[in-house]
Amino acid sequence: MKTINIKDLQPGMFVVGVIRQAGHVRVKNQGWVRNEKGINNLINSGVLEVEIDPDKTLDQSQPETETVKEIAEAPKQDPWHKSVPVEAELGHAVQMYEQAKQLQEKTFLDIKEGRKIDVADFKETASGFIDSVFRNQDALACIARIREKDGYLLEHSLNVSILMSIFAKHLGFERTLIEELSTGALLHDIGKIKIPDEILQKPDKLSENEFAIMREHAKFSHDIVKDSGLGDIASEIAGFHHERLDGTGYPYAKKGEELSQYVRMISIVDVYDALTADRVYKVGMTPIQAFKKLKDGCPHEFDEHLLNQFIHCIGMYPVGTLVKLKSHRVGIVAASNPDSPLQPVVKVFYNAKNMFHVEVRDIDLSDKRVDDELEAAVKPEEFGLDLIKFFRHSMLP
C-alpha cells in the first residue's frame, strides 16, 4: 500500500481508503478511479491524501476487464452529530457501563472455570456503546475519564472500547466494522486472566522474568478471541495491540505493513487510556501529557497520521477532563465543541484561588458573552477534589 497526495492520483489507480481530508468523505467501496471527473469529485469533497494499491493499477492503454466501483460518497450525517443532549444520555450510558463491568467480571470467572466467552453478550454490549456514541459521544467519553483507581483491570477494556468506537465513528467507518472494532477492544486484555495475580496486581516495577510472563497475555487474548469465533479483526486487535511499527512491540514483533489500520488505532487508544488512568500506585497523566508522550513515539512506534486524527477526534481537553479557567474557576469539561475545540462547555464547581466550592453552573466558553478561557488541565489531587462523588451528585440527571 502507498499513501499519495490527492493531486498525484491518476485514472486507473486502485483506491483503498481516504487517509487525510478536510471534509467528511467515507469510502463506500474500495475500487479504481475511472477518470479525472472522479478525482475532481474527491478533491471537491475535501480529500487531501488517499491510500492506493499500486499492484492493482489498471493499464489505461488496455480495455478495462474489471468493474470500476464508485469509491466515495458523502456521509449520511456529520460524524459529530448529536441527536440528544449529553444530560439526557448520561444516565443511560452509566447503566450500560455498569452492566458491561458485570459482564467482564462474569467472563473472567467463566474463563477461569473453562467456559467459553458468551459472544452474543459482548456483541450486544458493543452495539449498545455504539448506539450511545452516535446519540451523543460525550456521555460515554465522560464516564471513561472518571473512574475508580482500583478498577483499572475491568474499566480499561471498557474505556478502550468506547474510545475505539468514537475514533472509528470519527473516521467514517461503517456500523458493522465499528461493532467488530468495539467488540475486539472489549476483549483485548482478556488474556490477562491467565497471568498470575501476584504479577498482574504487583504495584512495583516487574522483573525481566515477570514482564516476560506478562507479555504472554496478548497471545492468550488472541487465542481466546479467535476460539470464540468473533473473526479476524477482533482477533488481531486482541493479539497485536502491543505491537509497534518499528518491530519493538510484543508478543510477535510485527512491524510496518504487517500491522493493519485497526491495530494501529488500538495501539494508540490502549496506550492513551493507560497513561491517563489513575492507579493505586500512580497518578495518571493529563490528556495533553499523554498526547505528548504518544507524539514522542511517532513515527517509529505509532502511526502519526492516525494519532493526529485521534487527538482531533477526542480533543485536547476531552470530555470528563478537570480544567482550570483563567478566572481561577475549576470544573469538568461537560460537552465538546468540534468547531472550536478550545471552547467546550465546562461545568464549574470550585474556585482555585479562594479554595472553596462554588455553585455548580455550565459555562459555554464559545459564547461571546463569556469572558473566560481555558488555562490548563489539572488533577483533582491538587485541590483535594473527589471527581467520582461530584459526577454522581452533580452530573447525573
In sequence order, what are the beta bridge partners of 391?
A: none
Whose cell is 498526547? That residue is 291
The pLDDT-based confidence of 260 (bands split at 50, 70, 90) is very high
| pLDDT tens-digit readout, 127-145 | 999 999 999 999 999 999 9
**The pairing of beta strand 47-52 with beta strand 14-21:** antiparallel
Average pLDDT of the residues in 25-34: 67
Average pLDDT over residues 221-250: 94
The model's confidence at residue 116, banded by pLDDT at 50, 70 and 90, is confident
Q: Does domain 86-314 have CATH number 1.10.3210.10?
A: yes
| Region of poorest pLDDT, from 145-154, 336-345, 384-393 | 145-154
What are the pLDDT digits (tens) for 350-362?
999 999 999 999 9
Mean pLDDT of 97-101: 93
One-letter identity of residue 141 = A
Q: How sure is the predictor about 172, in pLDDT bands with cuts at 50, 70 and 90?
A: confident
Does residue 339 register a pLDDT over 90?
Answer: no
Percent of the chain with pLDDT over 70: 91
Residue 83 has pLDDT above 80, yes or no: no
pLDDT of residue 202: 86
Q: Could you tell me the pLDDT band of residue 94, with boundaries at 50, 70 and 90?
A: very high
Confidence at residue 73, expressed as pLDDT on a 0 to 100 scale: 43
Whole-number pLDDT of residue 42: 81
Listed range (18-32, 128-142, 226-240) with the worst mean pLDDT: 18-32
The residue extents of the domains of the chain are 2-73, 86-314, 322-395
pLDDT at 84: 82
Confidence of residue 160 (pLDDT cuts 50, 70, 90): very high
| DSSP SS3 for 252 | coil
* Angle between the N-to-C axes of helices 119-145 and 175-186, in degrees from 0 to 180, rounded to the nearest 10: 80
Residue 297 binned pLDDT confidence (cut-offs 50, 70, 90): very high
173 has pLDDT over 70: yes
Task: Give the pLDDT of residue 81.
Answer: 57
**pLDDT at position 59, please?**
64
E strand or H helix that includes residue 281: none
The confidence band for 74, taking pLDDT boundaries of 50, 70 and 90, is: very low
Segment 223-244 shows an average pLDDT of 94
> At 154, which helix (H) or strand (E)?
helix 152-170
C-beta of residue 353 within 8 angstroms of C-beta of residue 379: no
Q: Please, what is the average pLDDT of the chain?
A: 87
Express each pLDDT in 30-56 by its tens digit: 678 878 888 887 887 778 888 888 877
pLDDT tier at 29, thresholds 50, 70, 90? low
Q: Identify which of 81, 85, 11, 75 has the alpha carbon closest to the alpha carbon of residue 45.
A: 75
What is d(CA 201, CA 206) in angstroms, rounded to the nearest whole number? 10
Q: Stretch 382-395: mean pLDDT, rounded?
A: 88
Task: Report, in angstroms and rounded to the nearest whole number, the Rg of the chain calculated over CA atoms.
Answer: 22
* 201 pLDDT tier (thresholds 50, 70, 90): confident
Query: What residue has cell string 452495539?
Result: 127
